[in-house]
Chains A and B, each alone.
Chain A
Amino acid sequence: MRRYLQISGLIACWLATTSALSAEDQAVDYSRDVKPILRKNCYRCHGHAKQTSGLRLDSGASALRGGDSGEAVLPGNSAESPLFLSISGSEDYTQMPPDGEGEKLKPDEVAVIKRWIDGGAKFPADEEPDGKIKSDHWAFQKPVRPAPPGVKNKDWVRNPIDAFVLSKLETQQLSPSPESDRVTLIRRLSFDLLGLPPTPEEVNQFLADRSSDAYEKLVDRLLASPHYGERWGRHWLDVARYADSNGFTIDGSRNMWRYRDWVINALNTDMPFDRFTIEQIAGDMLPGANRDQMIATGFHRNTLINEEGGTDQEQFRIDAVADRLHTTGSVWLGLTLECARCHSHKYDPITQREYYEMFAFFNADDDYDLNFPPPDDKAEEFQKKLDKFNEEIGKLDKQIAEAYGTPEETNGGLKKLMNTRTRKMRSMPKSPSGWAMVMKQREDPRKTRVHKRGNFLEQGDEVAAAVPAVLHELPQSETRNRLDFAHWLVDENNPLSSRVTVNRIWQRYFGTGLVQTENDFGTQGETPSHPELLDWLATEMIARGWSLKAMHKLIVTSATYRQSSDYRPDVAQVDPANRLMARQSRLRLEAEIIRDTALAASGLLSRTIGGKGVYPPQPEGVYAFTQNDKKWKVSSGDNRYRRGMYTYFWRSQPYPALMTFDFPNSNITCTRRVRSNTPLQALTLANDISFLETARAMARRITTETSPDDEERVRFGFKLCLAREPSSLEARRLDLLIRQQRDAYASDEDAAKTLWGTDVGKNEDVVELAAWTAFSRVLMNLDEFITRE
């Protein structure tokens, strides 16, 4: 009270001196008089972009709502309104704006605010918040389709991509590299489109096809192969953080493979990327959603689940929702939304409030196990189980509803009930016909509040689902739900999603994206090396109905793509990171593709697509140190030799040969893999049991598919692994090797027998098999073997 008196005394004095300045005693009009003052002096920290102390002054309503420390404006009572007290610099308030944040208000401006407050702080009911954020940052502007630039060397240009690339090279006085030879081209294309090496027959066929469109035909054939869906599906599974277990310490198994197969299938049928997006983000909400569309929502069920005892399930649910938002930000928007979880984004125009407005889209669903209809003879039994389960959940829901607003709520009983419910939901009976992990919109969506400093225990204002002001608007909709958000992501006005998507495709083909920071298109990200090309590709993708296959074909048929990847010292001087693309890049194959390549060369590869995860052999003792022993009953038959992407993925102890070659940990989205080069990789390729198996199989293949002539065999094996013919020098070195190994094993037949075990046939010469195994092992360890050139 005393403080109040002091302040009013002060104000009284102050008024006496200022009243003379406001000569006219006319009524203050909010829009005409007040808003311009607030806009000029206050919005910077209390506007749309930023709400320091939770206070926002860019609309009358928000000014009246106040901030973290309570009301800012008391209509009719300026003397007690913190807004007035702080702009007027009363004793108990830091005068606003603070030093360094702008000039203090002039006395007549302060007087206007005072009169507005004292007059009842009226404002128009239909006022729109004024703080619409504009950003000059390139990535927030909708791409405008540029015309391909003119170039000197017109003959080199095969399609518009080349014009953009060449134009840049010409300004640097660099010439592009020559086209790769045909063997390199087919090997490159096979790896890039299918993740498999070409067979010697495929190579021969391509070499024999002298028609002018031989290359285009090859591209079409590869794009039509079902292995295309595996290769590009696996890229997508990286960003989806796909795994077969729950993560954290208990890391129980989960049932996600149907989602993986959905991805493969969607890509094989060239589902347009906008559709691909909508079904994964909100397939469950599509009218009459079918089973596949439900399964597609598995994308965001790839979040971790903490099954550890004593955990607060709400905390981990919120972490999962946050991860869904962060992943969406990375994958479609190329934005680091996670930076705005605890405070407004430091670099990009995204406020903390906006973070939670987006959070709200993902906070309105339940994790749900979709049961497929059971067969008739089991339907009744299953229904009984389900009824019992629903009854138990119903009871819990009732208890939860009752606990709200009672002592239960405050003493933690409510939390406990909710924990019980969350855990219980995971034990929903499973249909004998199969089931899938999906999302399901709640009938009664949760409310979302701002989490102060990112702490979900400190809840701030309630927010409604909305998109950041700096981006395009949410399409007109009553609902403003996850489905609307999905449409918004692939709206043609979205300046980011098309660019981010083509950039990521580009990255797979050249090692680096046109924007190197492929998951940060914000102001801290790198500017594009070829901004016009990026925008041309982005608009082209939309013009082609978001067809991914069309984009692949466009890129791989360009002259840019077809260049030789040989290192060029002249280019390295000017452009060490090869951003200008005066050559292709030599790229080490991805972990799973290394396995596939070894299996393919050896002839062991099973080409079965999809289904449950498999368990290829791995070194003994891998699980010696995990908390819970994982099941790893090594698969037999074809399943032992499936493509690497089908290897069952335990998050707490992934298959070692994959991880050694930088397979993503799959805990969070991975939009670009690291390519390391380590001794542990050498040990894996040289000594791991699965690679020994491929070396042995290749040895048998060599000795059975060719006549007993070293030279022929060397060439045959070499082509199996590298597609090309050996140089005379390489052939001589390999000839030396095979003779050396044959001699060594001939003088130590026991070693040969040990190497081959009991697998030697009656008509087989174990020394020959051992020598050719040693030979195959060398080829499968070459840098070139695991490199796409």
Chain B
Amino acid sequence: MHDQSPELLLQTRRHFFERCRYGLGSLALGSLLLGDGAKPVNAGIATNPLAPRPPHFEPKAKRVIFMFMAGGPSQLELFNERPKLREMTGQVIPESYVENKRFAFLKKDAKLLGSPQKFAQHGESGQHISECLPYLSTIADKIAIVNSMSTDVFNHGPAKFFVNTGTPRFGRPSIGAWVTYGIGSESQDLPGFVVLQSGPRGPRGGAPLWGCGFLPTTYQGVPFRSGKEPILNLATPHGINMGRQREFVDAVHDLNEMRRAVTSDPEIATRVSAYEMAYRMQSSAPALMDISGETRDTLEAYGIEGDKPSFARNCLLARRLIERGSRFVQLYHTDWDHHGGPGFEINKALNERCHEVDRPSAALVKDLEQRGLLKDTLVIWGGEFGRTPQGEDRNKLLGRDHHIDAYSIWMAGGGVKGGQTVGETDELGYYAVEDRVHVHDFQATVLHLMGLDHLKLTYRFQGRDFRLTDVHGEVVEKLLA
């Protein structure tokens, strides 16, 4: 997208120069070096691929927090109330709905299943939200619910790739990578694209979900682990304290600069600045993770208990990350795959998942608003697909199969028009019949809010320009404030 124009490079250099000079620690050696008749050492040219860059047009959102509910939460239990479906419970779905359809597990004669969950209208906007999400209901006027999402693929791994990378296969850049590639990051001591995870296991698909594909590795998501050391190898080895580490970085710096004086290779300057950034991250990342300075009220609002890793804690960390300049924070919470059977019921198990995410996700939106951050922070909540109107009966414990033709997500903040429901499904909740929002449309909209034109955010690879939205995608105007 961005040509590395001389102006931009210069700006980048200046920016970096100012940030980096402090604490280089080679001052003591300066006279020694000069005394030797060598070229003077200076911080020099540092090209920083993560430096902030202007987007295509004035953005509504400057950063994103994407809460990814891995497994496919049931829209029929949470957002899309379908009375007709309830009426028709136990009947075989009309043939016209399922001609030529493929399912992961269901058979074609599966019976319809109305939701066991109760719904009510909330806020001035009167949004329909089920009682599974009582906290979210209190911010109904701030969120836009989309009931007409649709995707192309019905297995977990491919569907997650699809939402994140625009294709169901491995190997393309993820949305967070595209955004940081497009506009860089404001943070000089934390990664621009951070991934936080909670739930019993990692999301299916793993690291490629936040990978950089063919984009430079700088743009890949950095998964933070819970605990004091969120990044692998963040802590110095035992026996090396931060004083020794500073001496280490200084020595590496000086010797690298000496080599640069001989070879003139600008790449060495980049490496020098990488060591400085790494050194800063060693203190900034643990500081980020240390939430002891947060008030009791805040912890209470998010529902954070003790030191336990949790989705709630990750929501708070997401806020702390964007406060520190990270561009794109993605939170994965797993185990939404409610097929029925023990532990996967669309009432009991689903309620537990909701309990884990409802309070913190609503608290995050409110917290951002209180701090004046919501207006330019885009918050997204959703999974890779939804669940079928037909039930799955596994030992009398009810669930639903994967469903791609209509499911729900919600969005709030930066440029999103809250207090509305976009899209409508048929009365069984099977197909989106009004304002259908395909995954590529959703992606185009997210980029649009970030000030990026999804048609122009491209990267040339294997002889063609690739986009997040492939050759599709239209901005969903209704979602824009």
Contacts and interface: CB of A to CB of B under 8 A. Distances in A.
B239 A686 contact: no
Given A312-B102, A689-B237, A737-B251, A522 B281 contact: no
B262 A304 contact: no
B29 A308 contact: no
Nearest to B70: A627
A627 B201 contact: yes
Closest 8 CB pairs of A and B: A755-B239, A310-B104, A625-B202, A520-B463, A249-B204, A682-B278, A524-B463, A754-B239
B43 interface: no
18 contacts: A249-B205, A304-B170, A308-B155, A330-B462, A412-B108, A566-B265, A625-B225, A626-B202, A674-B214, A677-B274, A678-B218, A687-B234, A732-B36, A733-B251, A751-B244, A754-B238, A777-B248, A784-B259
A782 B208 contact: no
Contact of A517 (B207, B244, B462): B462
A336 B218 CA distance: 26
Contacts, number: 224
A680 B263 contact: no
Q: Among A247, A248, A652, A654, find the residue whose CB has the most chain B CB atoms closer than 10 A.
A: A248
A251 B201 CA distance: 14
Given A624-B225, A678-B218, A682-B274, A520 B462 contact: yes
Interface SS majority for chain A: loop
B248 A311 contact: no
Interface string B186-224: 000000000001000111111110010010111000110
Interface string A607-630: 000000000000101101111100
A729 interface: yes
Nearest to A347: B463
B247 interface: yes
A755 B278 contact: no
B170 A667 contact: yes
Given A683-B231, A683-B233, A754-B239, 19 more contacts: A308-B157, A309-B104, A309-B105, A310-B402, A336-B463, A412-B108, A517-B463, A522-B463, A625-B203, A668-B170, A674-B214, A678-B218, A727-B258, A751-B240, A751-B241, A777-B248, A782-B252, A782-B256, A784-B259
B236 interface: yes
A175 B259 CA distance: 24
Nearest to A733: B254
Given A729-B258, A733-B29, A586 B252 contact: no
A774 B236 contact: no
Interface string B257-279: 01110111111101110110111
A567 interface: yes
Contacts of B232: 619, 621-622, 656, 683-684, 688
B231 A667 contact: no
Q: Among A519, A567, A569, find the residue whose CB has the most chain B CB atoms closer than 10 A.
A: A567
B287 interface: no
Contacts of B275: 679, 682, 686, 781
B197 to A, nearest CB: 5
A701 B238 CA distance: 21
A59 interface: no
A565 interface: yes
Nearest to A311: B155
B217 A662 contact: yes
A751 B259 contact: no
A627 B251 contact: no
Contacts of A662: 217
Contact of A586 (B205, B247, B265): B265
A740 interface: yes
B264 A566 contact: yes
Given A744-B247, A756-B239, A653 B207 contact: yes
B171 interface: yes
A308 B254 contact: no
A755 B38 CA distance: 35
B433 interface: no
Contacts of B156: 249, 308
B217 A730 contact: no
Contact of A751 (B225, B239, B255): B239
A567 B266 contact: yes
A621 B309 CA distance: 14
A728 interface: yes
A628 B207 CA distance: 13
Contact of A524 (B211, B225, B464): B464
Q: Among A660, A736, A789, find the residue whose CB has the most chain B CB atoms closer than 10 A.
A: A736
B255 A733 contact: yes
B278 A679 contact: yes
Nearest to A732: B32
A676 interface: yes
A640 interface: no
Nearest to A718: B255
A599 interface: no
B267 A667 contact: no
A133 to B, nearest CB: 19
A249 B233 CA distance: 26
B235 interface: yes
B236 A778 contact: no
Contacts of B231: 680, 683
Nearest to B190: A679
Nearest to A777: B248
A733 B273 CA distance: 20
A339 interface: yes
Nearest to B235: A687
B384 to A, nearest CB: 12
B263 A586 contact: yes
A759 B241 CA distance: 20
A652 B236 CA distance: 27
Nearest to B168: A319
A711 B38 CA distance: 21
A184 to B, nearest CB: 10
Contacts of B354: none
A677 B217 CA distance: 8
Contacts of A568: 264
A652 B207 contact: yes
B24 interface: no
A753 interface: yes
A328 interface: no
B293 interface: no
Given A312-B102, A674-B217, A676-B217, A627 B171 contact: no
A682 B272 CA distance: 9
Contacts of A312: 102
B306 interface: no
B238 A310 contact: no
A689 B239 CA distance: 13
A667 B208 contact: yes
A665 interface: yes
Contacts of B288: none
A668 B282 CA distance: 34
Interface string B89-106: 000000000000011110
A752 interface: yes
B243 interface: yes
Nearest to A752: B239
Interface string B9-21: 0000000000000
Contact of B105 (A310, A330, A627): A310
Contact of B217 (A249, A311, A678): A678
A352 interface: no
Interface in A397-421: 411-412
A681 interface: yes
A306 interface: yes
Interface in A745-778: 751-756, 770, 774, 777-778
A778 B265 contact: no
A674 to B, nearest CB: 6
Contacts of A680: 222, 231, 233, 278
Nearest to A682: B278
B6 to A, nearest CB: 12
Q: Among B102, B243, B265, find the residue whose CB has the most chain A CB atoms closer than 10 A.
A: B265
